[in-house]
Chains A and B, each alone.
Chain A
Amino acid sequence: MMSNLSPLQQINSGATREMGQLLEVRGLRTEIPTRRGVVRAVDGVDLVLHEGEVVGLVGESGCGKTLTAYSILDLLPKPGVVAAGEIHFRGEDLRRKSTEERRAIRGNDIGMIFQEPLSALNPVFTVETQIGDVLRTHTNLDSTAIKERVVELLGHVGISAPERVARSYPFELSGGMRQRVLIAMAIACRPALLIADEPTTALDATIQAQIMVLLQTLVEEDGVSILLITHDLALVAELCDRVYVMYAGTVVEMAPVEDLYVRPRHPYTSALFQCIPGFQPSDRPLAAIEGSVPMLIDIPPGCRFADRCPYVADRCRTETPPLVDVGAGHRAACHFADSLDLPGPASEQLEQDHASAPVY
C-alpha cells in the first residue's frame, strides 16, 4: 500500500495517524432564496474527514465549496440556510446545537482561514488584540498568559519577530505575514479541524509555497486535520490525502489524491486537470472548459455537467448519475465512469513534477 504513494503522501500518512472520523457531512443542502427562485447552492453533499487527514474540496467559483464550509460553521451569509442534511463533528450533529453552542465551537474546535489576508484582519486593532480576543473568548487565561500565548503562536507560525508583530497593526505587515497571523488566530485554541478557504490564492508564488509548508507542518506536528478548499489542483497534489471534486453544488468525484491523478473517472475532473499549466502533455495547448456552471434554480434532471461534457450521451440529459464506487475509496457520479479512459496527469509525470518542483 505504502509503495503506491508518492514521497509526499508517505509523509502525510505517518504511522501515528489515527483514522477516527472527525467530520461527517451527510446530504447537506444549502439554499439561498432569491427573487427568481430558491438557489440550491449545495445540493446533497456527503463528505467525510478523518482525524489527521487533509481533504481537498475542489471546484470552480460558485460550485458551492465555500458555502459547504460556511454551512459546517454556521456562518452562512443571509439569507442562505441549511435546508437539509446532517453535520456530525466528533459524533455530534451540529445542526441540533444552538447558535450559541455552535459559536463556541468556532475558533475553538474548528478554525478557519480565508482567501484575502489583506482584508480578513481588522484594520484598527493590533494583532495582539485580535488573537487575544479569540483566546479570551474560548479560554480562561489571564492577560499576561494571553500575551505570552500570542507571541508563542506567532513564533509557531514562523514569524521571526513575534513580539514586534504582536504589537503591529495589520497594515504594517506584508500579505504573507498577515496570512500567518490569520493562521495563528485560527489555531490559537488548538482546533482539531482547520478549514482553509483558498489560503494562498491572494499571495504570490514564493509566499504560497511558504504557507503550504506551514500548513503541512501543522498537520504533521500538531495533528490538525485540514479541509482545503481550492480551485487549484496543483495545491491539492501537494497537501491532500483525499479529494472531493464539486460541480454545481454536488460532489461529482471523490478519491484518494493518487487515484485521482492517475485516473480521474469524471469528465469534469479530467477537464480541470487539463486547465492546469504543466499538468497536461506539453504538446497540447492549455485547455479551457467551454460554457459555464448552470443556474441552480429549478435544476432539470440529468447530469449537471452534460452541457459542457465532451462525452455527453442522451442518457446524461435524462438520468441523474449517482455517486457510485469505481475503485477503493474512489467514487464518481458519471454514467460512463467505468468505460471512459480519461486523461489525467500520469503518475510518472506527477512524480517527475515533484522531483523538479522547488522543495517547499
Chain B
Amino acid sequence: MRARFLLAKLLWTVFVLFGSSLLIFGLMHLVPGDPARAMLGPLGTPDAVAALREKLGLNDSVLKQYTTWITHAVRGDLGESILLNQSVSSLLAQRLPITLALSFYALIFALFVALPASVISATRKNSLLDYGARLTALIGVAMPSFWLGLMLILLFAVKLGVLPVFGYVSLREDPVDHLRHMVLPAITLGAAYSALIYEMNRSSLIEVLQQDYIRTAHASGIPSRLVLFKYAFRNALVPTITVIGIQIGYLMSGALLVEAVFAIPGMGRLLVNGVLSRDYPVVQGAMLVTVLIFVFANLAVDMLYTVIDPRIGRKR
C-alpha cells in the first residue's frame, strides 16, 4: 500500500513539473510582440534581433521550441545568459548553493526557536510565557522581512558592530566569517517561518495532549517527559511537517528580498536581475530550479509522513 502511495505522489510530482515547465516556457511567449526585440530593447538593431531570434530558435514552431528547450533542460543545459555571456547552468551552480545555504540556516533557526517554544506554550497553555510567545509569533508573522532585516542591521551591525552589515563570504574561504555573514539574513528569512511553525505545532500539541492515548500513557505511569516528547510530540508533528514543507516555497521566494537587503549574490538576486534585464534564459532556468526544489521538498515531506504516521498511505 505504501509503495502505491509513494508511486502516486511521484507521478503527481512529474505531472506538476511538466505543468510548471509549460508555464515557464510560455512566459517568454506571453510578452507581447517579439521576445527577441523585447530582450534587446530600443537599442536592438534589426540585424541583432534577427541574430538573437536565430540563437534562441524563435523561428521554429512553438512545439519544437518547447521540446528543444525541455530536452536540453533535462540534460542540464539551460541555454546561455544574454547579458552575462555565461551558460545559465554555470550561473545557477554559482548562485544556487548560496541561496540553499541561506534557506538551510533559516530553517535551522526557525526549528530551533519554534519547536521548544511550542512545547513550552502547549504545556503551559494560557500562562504568561505562552502569551509572550504567541505575541512574539504574531509580531514575527506581521513584520515584513525587509524591514526586520534593516532593523537587525541597524542594531547588530551599525549600533553594536558585532556582525557584518552585508555581503557574503563563502564557506570555503572562511567558515567563521561565512556564518557571521549569514546570521542576520537567516534570522530575517526565518522569523516569519518560525512563527508559523510555532503556531502550528503549539495548537497541534495542545490538541494531542487532550487525546485519550495520552491519558492511557499517564495511567500506565509513563514519566511525563516521555509522554510529552515521545507519545505527544510525534503525533503533533504531522500537521507541523505539512506547514514546514509547504512553506519551503515561501522560503525560496523570501530569499529574493533578503538577498536584496543583505547584498547576498544568491539565486534570488540572479532572478531579480534577470527579470529586470529581460534575460529570459536566466529567468526560465532560475524558475525551473526553484520549482524543482519546491516539488522535491514536498515529495520528501510526503515520504516523511509515512515514517512518522504509519496510518498514512495504508488501508484503514
Interface residues of A (CB under 8 A from B): 73, 75, 103-108, 111-112, 114, 116, 119-125, 133-134, 137-138, 169, 171, 182, 185-186, 188
Contact = CB atoms under 8 A, between A and B. Distances in A.
19 contacts: A73-B219, A103-B221, A103-B224, A107-B219, A108-B221, A111-B219, A119-B211, A119-B212, A120-B215, A120-B216, A121-B213, A123-B213, A123-B235, A124-B235, A124-B308, A125-B234, A137-B221, A138-B221, A186-B219
B218 A106 contact: yes
A231 B211 CA distance: 23
B159 interface: no
Given A123-B235, A123-B309, A169-B310, A114 B221 contact: no
B225 to A, nearest CB: 11
Interface in B202-241: 211-213, 215-224, 226, 230-231, 234-235
Given A122-B216, A137-B222, A185-B216, 18 more contacts: A73-B219, A75-B215, A103-B224, A105-B221, A106-B218, A107-B219, A112-B219, A119-B212, A120-B213, A120-B215, A122-B213, A122-B217, A122-B231, A133-B217, A134-B221, A134-B222, A171-B314, A182-B216
A121 B310 CA distance: 14
B226 A106 contact: no
Contact of B310 (A103, A104, A124): A124
A114 B309 contact: no
A306 B161 CA distance: 78
B55 interface: no
B316 A171 contact: yes
Nearest to B237: A124
A186 B213 CA distance: 13
B311 interface: yes
A73 B216 CA distance: 12
Nearest to A102: B221
Nearest to B231: A122
A131 to B, nearest CB: 9
Interface of B: 211-213, 215-224, 226, 230-231, 234-235, 308-311, 314, 316
A228 to B, nearest CB: 16
B249 to A, nearest CB: 27
Contacts of A137: 220-223, 226
A313 B230 CA distance: 57
A73 B215 CA distance: 11
The residue among B219, B226, B231, B311 with the most chain A CB atoms within 10 A of its own CB is: B219
Contacts of B218: 75, 103, 106
Contacts of A106: 218-221
Nearest to A131: B220
Contact of A119 (B213, B219, B222, B224): B213
Nearest to B210: A77
B221 to A, nearest CB: 3
Contact of B311 (A73, A169, A186): A169
Contact of B220 (A116, A119, A123, A186): A186
Nearest to A104: B221
A103 B223 contact: yes
A121 B216 contact: yes
Nearest to A169: B310
A196 to B, nearest CB: 12
Contacts of A171: 310-311, 314, 316
Contacts of B234: 124-125
Contacts of A111: 219-220
Nearest to A123: B311
A186 B234 CA distance: 23
A195 to B, nearest CB: 8
Which residue among B215, B220, B231, B314 has the maximum number of chain A CB atoms within 10 Å of its CB? B220
A208 to B, nearest CB: 19
Contacts of A116: 212
A123 B234 CA distance: 10
Contacts of B216: 114, 120-122, 182, 185
Nearest to B125: A78
